[in-house]
Amino acid sequence: MRNNDQTRLIALAVAAAVTLAACGGSSAGHSTRSVTQPTGSPGTVAPPQDYSNYYPPGTHAASRAAVRAINGWADSLRAGHVQQATNWFDLPVLMENASPVMRLTSRRAIVEFNKTLPCGAHVVKVIAGQTYSVATFVLTERPHASGRCGATGRLAAVAFRLRHGKLDEWRRVLVPPPLGPARNLQAAIPDD
């Protein structure tokens, strides 16, 4: 069993390092801000309009509990407080970061997952479906990261599920509209 945990941690570190799916940020309240992306990456430039009250069909505003947990995790991680970020997760937790789904059953495994994320992030929009809340982030540098972010200023999104006020699923998804292309909505909200 010990080798299995070590193998999972190594696979987790490799999967996180391969992708730039870092998150850790702060709340932008319930408003979105215009975010300019490097040219050449279609669908990654936030519209200049105010979409604070816009929710794509089939979505709605996320619950206060979900927004609180997502912002708590993101704020802690972006500040470099990995242990504090870990406290926002329930056990067990499912993690999927451009990798197969991993079931983490210990705080240590969650700490290692958070450590592998190279970027911090700032929350710009949270939408919800029936089961998942999807947060869109602007990626930032963060202290004590395993490496440089390499994607500062780009958008990323993660689907979260909540249990007992804590996060029990973390799944990297495409950026949903209005910040990403409309075709990303189907992939952004996992099947309930």
Which pLDDT tens digit goes with each residue over 131-188? 999 999 999 999 877 778 888 899 999 999 999 999 999 999 999 887 776 666 555 5
Model confidence over 104-136: pLDDT tens digits?
A: 999 999 999 999 899 999 999 999 999 999 999
Percent of the chain with pLDDT over 70: 67
Q: What is the pTM of this model?
A: 0.70
Q: What is the pLDDT of residue 44?
A: 56
What is the rounded distance in angstroms from the CA atom of residue 160 to the CA atom of residue 94? 10
Omega of the bond leading into 92 within 30 degrees of 0 (cis): yes
- And the tokens for 2? 């010990």
Provide the residue type at 143 as one letter: P
Pairing of strands 166-173, 155-163: antiparallel
CATH number for the 2-188 domain, one of 3.20.20.370, 3.20.20.70, 3.40.50.150, 3.10.450.50? 3.10.450.50
The amino acid present at 107, given as its one-letter code, is R
Does 143 sit behind a cis peptide bond, omega within 30 degrees of 0 on the bond before it? no
Inform me whether the pLDDT recorded for 14 exceeds 50. Answer: no
The Cα–Cα gap between 108 and 30 comes to: 33
Confidence at residue 181, expressed as pLDDT on a 0 to 100 scale: 67
| Higher-confidence position of 48 and 172 | 172
